[in-house]
Chains A and B, each alone.
Chain A
Amino acid sequence: MKPFIRRTPALMMLAASIGLVDIARADDLAVAQKLATNHCAVCHTFDKGGPPGQGPNLFGLIGRKAASETNFTYSDGYSKAMTGKVWDEQMLDAWLTDVQAVAPGSAMVYSQDDPAKRQKIITYIKSLH
């Protein structure tokens, strides 16, 4: 992207800056995807209609009712804590901070202290629509 800007100085900065924002977003998303894959893909699939692994498919998670996937058997601990809730960013952040604190006895064991890493994972999961 730098050579492009150098070669075309006459391009309006406005247009260039919009392009840069898009590119920056794409870069962020790539990092977010890498992190989400490292952290989640051992047990979850991300693609639309993908099969459940140890955990349910995560496509369209934000806005979905918790414990609502029909092709997945949720643990008692999860169902007890989560049934009736709807996934939003805030809930996902608490979930990633320490799953077992939100839903003791859930089959998932995961905790992440670093808010920046949690945010990246949330960014990627939000993009799955």
Chain B
Amino acid sequence: MNEEKQKLELSRRNFMKASAAGTAVAALSGVAGRAMASDELPFDREHDIVVVGGGGSGLPTALFSRWLGNDVVILEKAGSPGGTAAKAAFWYWVPNNKPMRDAGMVDNKDDYMRYVARLTRPQSYDAASPKLGLSDWEYEMCEAIYESASPAAELLAERDALPYRHCPDVPDYWSELPEDKAKKGRVLVPKEARPSMSDGGRVAIRTLTAAAKRDGVQIRTGERVVKVIINSKGEAAGVEVETEEGTRERVKARKAVIFATGGFTHDPELRRNFLNAPVYGGCAALTNEGDFIRISSDLGVQLRNMNYAWSCPILLEKALAKDGSMSGIFTMNGDSMLMVNKYGKRIVNEKTVYNEMVPTFFQWDGDRAEYPNLVMFSIWDQQAQDNCSSDEYGSPIVPKGGNDRHVVRGETLEELATNIAARLDKHASDIGGLKLSADFNLNLKATLKRFNELAKKGKDLDFHRGELAIQGVFTGPVKSNRTGNLTMYPLAAKGPYYAALITGGNLDTKGGPKTNSVGQVLNNANAPIPGLYGVGNCVASASGRAYWAGGSTLGPIIAFAYRAANQAHKEAARS
């Protein structure tokens, strides 16, 4: 049985285990008396606000809730707080942020809304329409980000939970679009992140966790929430927890339960049934197994935006190995580097921003009945190995001495192809037996010749490599004296050559139960389920397919954390 199938079995078993436990509780309440609602069973502990998940969504949510005077606990399934955010660069995209305003950089709401609408629903975008082609819900959610991301970022900074550094020169991902009026300056990073801005996550988790402890948020790890307890009035009254030591506990929430448990990147069954692409996983924390999708399936919620993910190319072999430390490939490093498919053909601009690169891997060839680009091969020469390596942003070209188990080597192009083929065979059962085509070597030589001609001119007439501002930001280092188009350089006529096997993956998924703009989970009648909230990748993002800019995951997350905490604080406390 291959690993994916095992995981499928496992996730089914876990789900059944959780359901069975639910039945046991129901049976027990039956014994105690039919009218007894499940919230009348004894609770082991109680708090005002129970935050489920201690990552980039849960920690800010818990802090905002605590600062309003609530008794707050975080229940984290993993051994430590941090989640996906711990290994992220933790840029956060904050429209009209304070440093922008202080510097006189203009970022009007109307312009911001046009930019996000243009990218979120390009097929219905209409600048003249009142909601710009967005649904009412999408419009309201996008407005909320503009209104609240900045106050949230300021409060986190003022309380020393997340001091930041403004990045006035970082452009949005489509700064060339006429709708993008504030082209630069919306990105903040944790203050002590490296100058290269790659390690903000570990800084942010450190400062957020320290603030949580300082201010009296209780953080409990190894505690997996398996069920929301709904009382006789239909309110979320608490949760059931399974601990890593095998005990089961009931935790009461006097005011609210706020889910911040991440998406379903690591649940193969949910991936298979909701994502419109055969994704192998991604760089989300391994604990992002769609818990809230399963838990909320009892509650009459509306699942939205389930078909999209925050996407990035990933190294196939790390994804198959379920390497929890894996980063997405945010920079496809290398100038003398190109990427080809199984036919030895170049089919995409290698420097295309990560989220936008991913659909190329999943193009379907209806005549051949195959995904011709499911696994592609970045190929580079010794020059790129010597001058373009990096251990940041998931670069496939890593420095000497680093973990290079994903790198295939060959003295000649033919040997490289032979070695790539051997790697593919090793993973045959996971990739549908994908093999290099018979004319791979021939095509690869022609591809290289063409690429080298274009690189000499510094102009990629085929795929326009390096022409957008953001591609210059995400290209990685090159030899210091280079001029011209720094994203391209001819590959050497002689080996050695190197390659990596690349496919499309997730940072995390972006679908889940629909919430309103203050984080309340909505039922099928579009009314809030009292006391039940959701923030971050475990609930529906209103961004559709779009990845507006670096940090458009975490910027909105802190905005909704802030809004959800403020709303939850207003709930009447159940004694």
Contact = CB atoms under 8 A, between A and B. Distances in A.
B325 A54 contact: yes
Interface residues of B, number: 32
A89 interface: no
Interface string B181-217: 0000000000010000001011101100110010000
Given A101-B210, A114-B221, A53 B80 contact: no
Given A109-B80, A109-B202, A98 B324 contact: no
Interface in A1-54: 31, 34-35, 38-40, 42-43, 52-54
Contacts of B399: 73
Interface string B58-92: 00000000000000000000111110001100000
Nearest to B401: A73
A100 B221 contact: no
A8 to B, nearest CB: 30
Contacts of B402: 73
A81 interface: no
A35 B225 CA distance: 18
Contacts of B286: 42
B518 interface: no
Interface in A88-118: 98, 100-101, 104-114, 117
B244 A110 contact: no
B403 A52 contact: yes
A53 B202 contact: no
B80 A39 contact: yes
Contact of B79 (A40, A106, A108): A40
A8 B81 CA distance: 49
B324 A101 contact: no
Interface residues of A, number: 28
B245 interface: yes
B244 A38 contact: yes
A42 B203 CA distance: 20
A106 B201 CA distance: 11
A115 to B, nearest CB: 13
Contacts of B40: none
Given A42-B286, A73-B401, A101-B210, A109 B205 contact: yes
A110 B244 CA distance: 17
Contact of A43 (B205, B222, B324): B324
Interface string B285-325: 01000000000000000000000000000000000000111
Give the interface SS of chain B, mostly helix, strand, loop or mixed: loop
B79 A101 contact: no
A106 B199 CA distance: 10
A103 to B, nearest CB: 10
Contacts of A100: 202-203, 205-206, 209
Contact of A98 (B209, B222, B244, B403): B209
A74 to B, nearest CB: 11
Contact of B87 (A31, A109, A111): A109
A101 B205 CA distance: 11
Given A35-B244, A54-B324, A98-B210, A110 B80 contact: yes
B226 interface: no
B444 interface: no
B219 interface: yes
Contacts of B87: 109
B338 to A, nearest CB: 27
B192 A38 contact: no
Contacts of B323: 53-54
Nearest to B221: A112
Interface string B528-561: 0000000000000000000000000000000000
A53 B325 contact: yes
B87 to A, nearest CB: 7
Nearest to B325: A54
A35 B222 contact: yes
A106 B206 CA distance: 11
B206 A101 contact: yes
B7 to A, nearest CB: 15
A105 B199 contact: yes
A36 to B, nearest CB: 9
Interface of B: 78-82, 86-87, 192, 199, 201-203, 205-206, 209-210, 213, 219-222, 244-245, 286, 323-325, 391, 399, 401-403
Interface of A: 31, 34-35, 38-40, 42-43, 52-55, 73, 98, 100-101, 104-114, 117
Given A105-B192, A105-B202, 19 more contacts: A34-B244, A35-B222, A35-B244, A39-B78, A39-B79, A40-B79, A42-B325, A54-B323, A73-B391, A98-B210, A101-B210, A105-B199, A108-B202, A109-B82, A109-B87, A110-B82, A111-B81, A112-B79, A117-B79
